[in-house]
Chain A
Amino acid sequence: MLSDVKVVLASCRLQMKQSFSRSMFKFCILAYPILAAITFYLIYAGQNDQTLISYVFLGTAITSMWSSISFSSAGDIDRERFMGALEVIFCSPTRFRMIMFGKVIGNTLLGIASMFISFLMVTLLFQVPFTLTHPLLFIVSMFVGIISFIFIAMLLSGLLAISRNTRVLMNCIDYPVFILCGTVFPIEVLPEWVRPLSYLLSPTYVLELARMSINGITDIRLFYYHMLGLGIVTILYLLAYLKFYEIIDVKARKEATLEVI
């Protein structure tokens, strides 16, 4: 157990150092939150503070965090493969998924940093007072949301690892998620037949919970339902990611195609 923790921490540290040598990741962490906040703010300019916090701040924060966690994690296996390090990691005595878990944690910590940049942009540059009706519930929602993001990132890394077109696919997973989860608008603007898909994605629940914490909760049961939904999809991501990593493991050993899966 302790050795696993050490591996996760070492992998996390290395991932954070490596990430800052990649210009795309620097864009996701530093530039994207600033530029997205400006874009969304200019579209929403003239709306009241609550709307600005609910859609500009949360929209920028969640899209930044999603991009940095999922975008980076989705490409991690492909990057290791490209550098020729995948087989070394895979054959090390530590379980492969623990090393990948450390990487995703590293991406998450940097993703949280991008969320703070969004927060600073909206509050300082646009002078929007950041008021929360339920600060504690907001913190709890974001915390559970981040855990869910970690597992969805693990799932994506496994899912895209078995594709040869990872780079193209990882560039195309942002907008579907941004639309379905209602990052910068409520999901009620989506057609009804699309909404069930929204509730398969954890950012939808995180945004609903965060917006309730900001604007006030009229029905506490609804808050608990969303929290329960978030918990259920997170467990589903966890189970799916374990399954995918098992598939990769078997496929790599059986077919000896780790470098060309």
Chain B
Amino acid sequence: MKRFFRMSSFSFKALLGWLDPKLYVIYKIVDPALQMIFYTLMVQFVYKAQDITPWILGNAILLCTKNAVFAVGVMLRSDRDQGTLQMIVASPVNKLLVFLSRVFFNVIDSAFTVVIGLVVGVLFFGLDFTGTNMLAFALAIAVAMIGGTGIGLVLGSIALVVKEIHFFLNVANMVLYILTGASFSREKLPSLVYPVTSLIPITRSIDASRIIVAHGDLASAMGLLGMDLLIGIVYALIGFALYQYFEYKARVLATLEAY
């Protein structure tokens, strides 16, 4: 367990080079807060008198995709670039444990980013948590973060074999924004695309958080969260399976360090 946390901590520090707190503040606090303000102002202008709480919540929770895509998504790729991937492959440790330990702090970090989004919502857009079951709401955030990390692991494994890494990750980030319906009703999506949204884990967590804040049916919110948790875990396992497959191919073809 101690090794798990040590690996998590090292990995998190090394991944984004958080050696300078100033940069952390700019990248992880100021930028997400501004993203939140940008989309919420747009929604506020478009929906005018309507209650924009659902969209504030959607945008706040969706801030976690930045971590999922740009931190977890580049994790394995960074290992290869820095020459540590071959050591991980060659080491006799449990690979699943390594895989999960690498993302542990990112889950916490993502939750922190979401909290920043919510603080922006409260301070600037009158987001009101009066009477909200905060435990259930925290659970919704945690499940969303696990789902986001699951997506990140799938993207991270695919990123190992994709040449245009920045193109791929940025497109994935924007597609996630569209498919989760953070700023608009998913019913607006074309009928062919709409079913795909139910395969994205964060979607149900956003819906559940909206139900919880609106003092809706807690049981249905928990149902959504249970489903989302399951999908998130499936994503993480798919990510690991993909990693194992690419590792196997790299061993056979001796292309572990190939770009």
Contact = CB atoms under 8 A, between A and B. Distances in A.
Q: Do A and B bind each other?
A: yes
B30 A24 contact: no
B174 A36 contact: yes
Interface string B102-125: 000000000000000000000000
Q: Which of B167, B178, B183 has the most CB of A within 10 A?
A: B167
B166 A24 contact: yes
Interface residues of B, number: 33
A26 B167 contact: yes
Interface in A1-36: 22-24, 26-27, 31-32, 35-36
A248 B90 CA distance: 47
Interface residues of A, number: 31
- The prevalent SS among residues of A at the interface is helix
A40 B174 CA distance: 11
Nearest to A40: B42
A153 B136 CA distance: 47
25 contacts: A23-B166, A23-B168, A27-B166, A27-B167, A27-B170, A31-B170, A31-B174, A32-B174, A35-B175, A39-B177, A39-B178, A42-B188, A42-B189, A43-B42, A43-B46, A45-B188, A47-B46, A171-B31, A172-B26, A172-B27, A175-B34, A176-B34, A185-B46, A186-B45, A189-B45
A196 B167 CA distance: 36
Contacts, number: 84
Contacts of B51: none
B38 A23 contact: no
A44 to B, nearest CB: 6
B170 A169 contact: no
Contacts of B183: 39, 42-43
Q: Which of A35, A44, A171 has the most CB of B within 10 A?
A: A35
Contacts of A36: 174
Contacts of B84: none
B70 to A, nearest CB: 9
B55 to A, nearest CB: 9
Q: Which of A23, A32, A36 has the most CB of B within 10 A?
A: A23
Given A185-B41, A189-B45, A165 B23 contact: yes
Contact of A24 (B38, B41, B167): B167
Given A23-B166, A27-B166, A35-B174, A179 B184 contact: no
B178 A42 contact: yes
